[in-house]
Amino acid sequence: MPPTFDLLVIGDANPDVIVGPLDTPLAFGQREQLVDSGALTLGGSAAITACGAARLGLRVAFAGRVGDDGAGHYMRDRLAAHGVDVQGLHLDSALPTPLTVIVTRGDDRAILTSPGTLAATTGRDIPPHLLTSARHLHAASYFLMPGLAADLPDLFDAARAAGTTTSLDTNDDPSGRWDRAALAPVLARTDLLLPNAAEAHRLAGTDGTSVAAAAELLARQVPLVAVKNGADGALCHDGRTLLTTAGIHVTPQDAVGAGDSFNAGFLAGRLTGRPIAEALDLAAACGALSTRAPGGTTAQPTWDEALTHLTANGDIPS
C-alpha cells in the first residue's frame, strides 16, 4: 500500500510575534519604543517547514504538542489552512502553547521563547501509524525539546524499518552546550542533516574554519549534509563531493523562517526525484523567496513559482 504522506514533520509549533526593525538598543526601565511593523504569524521551525513543503505540493502531516488554548488552536487552524494534516498535533490541557517574540534589527534578530509544551513533548506524541505512512520523516528543534530528542533514535529506527528516510534540523542550542555525544545516536540514524552555517560549525566543532570544512566533517556522520549560508547561498556535502549554489537575488523584508523554507525546498526536490544539485538550487530559492514578506510562511513559494525563478536565473532547466 503506497504511503499516505510524502512527509511527516515532528517538532515545534508556536505563534511568532515579530516586531521591528529596532534601530536602537532594546531599552528597559519601562521605556516604550516604536518600530515600523509588527505581525502575528505561524512559527516554529517544524511548523514552518511543514507549511513550506505543503505549499510546494507535498502531502504533509505534522505531529507534536501545543496547549489547549487560544494560541494552540491558532496553530492547529493555521497549519490546516496551509494544507498540513494535523491529526498528530496533540492539545495539552495542562501546559500553554510555546510563544516566541522576535525583534528584528537590520539582517539580525533577537529571539525570545517561552517554552510552554516544548519540554513535555516526547516520542509518545507521535502516532505510530504516521511513522509508517510517510515517505520521509523530518525532525526540527532538537535542542529545544529534550524529551523528543531522547526518543528520536527509536522514532528514526521505526521509520527507517518501514522504508522511511529521515532528516534533522537541530536549530540553535539556547544552552550553548551543543552536546555532540548525546546527538551522535540520532545522527547515526539520520539520512540528511540541515544546519545553517553557524550551527554546522558548532555541531562539527570547527569554529574558525570554512563552512565547507564543517560540512565535510559532518558528512562523515550523516550521508548528506546541506548547509544554509545566508546571503552566500548554500552548500552540501555527501562525504565525497562538495556542491554549492549562490542562490537567487531578492530584496528581503524579513528573514524569519528562511532556513525552514530552505528545508522544505530541499526535501521537496529530493522527494520529487531531483538530483542533489538541483534540490540545493531549489532549496536556496525557496529560502530566499520566503524573505519577501514578514513571517516565515507568508511568502513561501509554490513549486511553479520557485522553478520560474530558477529557470530565469539559469540554475534549473525548464
Residue pLDDT, tens place only, 284-298 = 999 999 999 988 999
Within a domain: 118: yes
**Is it the case that residue 316 has pLDDT exceeding 60?**
no
Residue 21 phi, psi dihedral angles, 5° rounding: -75, 145
pLDDT at 97 (0 to 100): 98
C-alpha to C-alpha distance for 85 and 127, rounded to whole angstroms: 13
Total count of domains within the chain? 1
pLDDT at 312 (0 to 100): 78
CATH number, residue 192: 3.40.1190.20
Within a domain: 317: no
User: Contact, 140 vs 195, CB < 8 A?
Assistant: no
Within a domain: 105: yes
C-alpha to C-alpha distance for 287 and 183, rounded to whole angstroms: 26
Mean pLDDT, residues 114-130 taken together: 96
Within a domain: 220: yes
* Cell 547561498 found at: 233
Percentage of the chain exceeding pLDDT 90:
86
Within a domain: 59: yes
Helix, strand, coil % in the chain, rounded to nearest 5: 35, 25, 40
Within a domain: 29: no
Tell me the pTM.
0.94
pLDDT at 318 (0 to 100): 43
Q: Which helix (H) or strand (E) holds 54?
A: helix 45-55
Within a domain: 30: no
Residue 196 phi, psi dihedral angles, 5° rounding: -90, 180
Q: What is the pLDDT of residues 217-247, one digit of tens each?
A: 999 999 999 999 988 999 999 999 999 999 8
- In whole angstroms, how far apart are CA 193 and each of 90, 100, 140, 180, 237? 26, 24, 10, 14, 10
User: Contact, 167 vs 194, CB < 8 A?
Assistant: yes
Full domain range(s) for residue 264: 9-23+35-310
Within a domain: 174: yes
Q: For CA atoms 137, 138, 140, 143, give the dihedral sign.
A: positive
